[in-house]
Amino acid sequence: MKFVTKTCFGILLAASAMSTPALAQDAPSGPLSLSGGIDVVSDYRFRGISLSNEKVAVQPSLTLSHESGLYVSTWGSSLPDSPLYGKFELDLIAGFSTELAPGTSVDLNATYYTYPGNRDWAGPSDYVEFIGSLSHDIGPVSASGTVAYAPKQSSLGDNDNIYLNFGLSSGIPDTPVTLSANLGYTDGSLGGVSADGNYLDWSLGASFAADIFTFSVNYIDTDVKKTGVKAVDTLYDPTVVFTLGVAF
């Protein structure tokens, strides 16, 4: 979701790169496996900014994976109705994920953000972003780094955007609880919420897994300066986001 004209994200992306759905991890019975889920979030935060006007959002997802590491995925979220974005965001994703070495994995994908309900005469709201992430386990801690680049395109005002994110997560031994922390940096057209087009976002969270269900709570904040307009400032005020997810 872009912030060029909008007046107003879990590990972050409850949001990081981007909002990440909880997917089932069942062992595939053949070369292809299908997984998915539905999350209900108290606030759709994308890189620290509320895209649901601090309202509850429903976020379904579906992924088809091949044993080679190739996959296609779709992710969506309900939105407050607006001429520019309509009532729903639909992300179409194609990528490749593999383990480079024990405990070290890489994921490369292209994500197309589309808004089927767009009815704004000013132009398209859809855009594409290329995302790469690397994760590595250090004892009980998993560290990850993500780079997301959106090239110049008309929906971004003929500008580009880069997003960087670093995250840490660790499960508490002998419990279903996982703790996480993330720090992100946006620079470019998607950083239109700040005067100079860049800002930091961060989160601290915990998740609890029980069978196919996951419950998480995340504290999310940014360093975006206040505008003095309450309706705008509340969209990036610090907040606590609750997520209830079911995976299949």
Three-class SS of 72-113: EEEEEEEEEEECCCEEEEEEEEEEEEEEEECCEEEEEEEEEE
Contacts of 88 (CB under 8 A, 6+ apart): 76, 77, 78, 79, 115, 116, 117
DSSP 8-state code for residue 231: H
Exposure on the CB side of residue 21, measured as CA atoms within 13 A:
28
Phi, psi of 170 (to 5 degrees): -155, 135
Q: How far apart are CA 243 and CA 217, in angstroms?
A: 6
Radius of gyration for the chain, computed over Cα atoms and rounded to the nearest angstrom: 17
Strands (E), the chain: 32-41, 45-46, 49-50, 57-66, 70-82, 86-101, 104-114, 127-138, 141-153, 159-171, 177-188, 198-210, 213-222, 239-247
Bridge partners, 45 (sequence order): 50
Q: Where are the domains of the chain?
A: 32-247
Nearest one of 212, 138, 150, 207 to 18, comparing CA atoms = 150
- Please provide the DSSP assignment of 37-53 as one string: EEEEESS-EETTEESST
DSSP 8-state symbol, 232? H
How is residue 104 written in tokens?
Answer: 């070290």
User: Does the domain made of 32-247 have the CATH classification 1.10.3720.10?
Assistant: no
User: Mind listing the pLDDT tens digit of every residue in the chain (248 residues)?
Assistant: 543 333 333 333 333 333 333 344 444 468 999 999 999 999 999 999 999 999 999 999 999 999 999 999 999 999 999 998 999 999 999 999 999 999 999 999 999 999 999 888 767 899 999 999 999 999 999 999 999 999 999 889 889 999 999 999 999 999 999 999 999 999 998 887 877 789 999 999 999 999 999 999 999 999 999 888 988 899 999 999 999 999 99
